[in-house]
Amino acid sequence: MTNPAHSIKVRVQSTYVEEQSSPENEQYVFAYTITIENIGTIPAKLLTRHWIITDANGKIREVRGDGVVGEQPYLRPGEAFRYTSAAMIETPVGSMHGSYQMIADDGVAFDAPIVAFGLSIPNLLH
C-alpha cells in the first residue's frame, strides 16, 4: 500500500508531430507534455525515469535515464513541474507507460506510476 505522504500525480497529453515524421520510412514522432504534481505532504525529488514504449507491431523499447529533460525537479507539496519531450515509433499507433523514481525528504524512495497513454495520428482511429 502506498503512503499518501508520498503521492505524485502524473498527467499526460500527447500529439502527433507530422513535420518531424516520415511515414514512408516508418518514423512517427509524437510529442508528449507531462505534468508531475506532488499531491503528498512531503517534498520529493525526481531521480530517474523508466519508459516502456510499444508500437502497433508489438515492438517494445525501454528507456531508462536520469531525470527528465536534463532536470531532476524537486517538488514541495502542491508544486508541479511540466515538460515536453518526444518519442518515435515505427507505426502510426502505439502507447507509452512507465514510472518516475522519486526520493522524499524523509529518505523514502518510491515510484510514481505513469499510466499508459496512446500515441496515434489524429483521425486514424474512429
DSSP state of 39: -
User: Helix or strand or coil: residue 18?
Assistant: helix
Say what the pLDDT of residue 125 is: 54
Cell of 29: 514522432
The residue-averaged pLDDT of 19-24 equals 96
Say what the pLDDT of residue 50 is: 98
% of the chain at pLDDT higher than 70? 96
C-alpha 27/C-alpha 11 separation (Å) is: 25
CATH number of 8-116: 2.60.40.1470
Give residue 16's pLDDT band: very low, low, confident or very high (50, 70, 90): very high
pTM for this structure?
Answer: 0.92
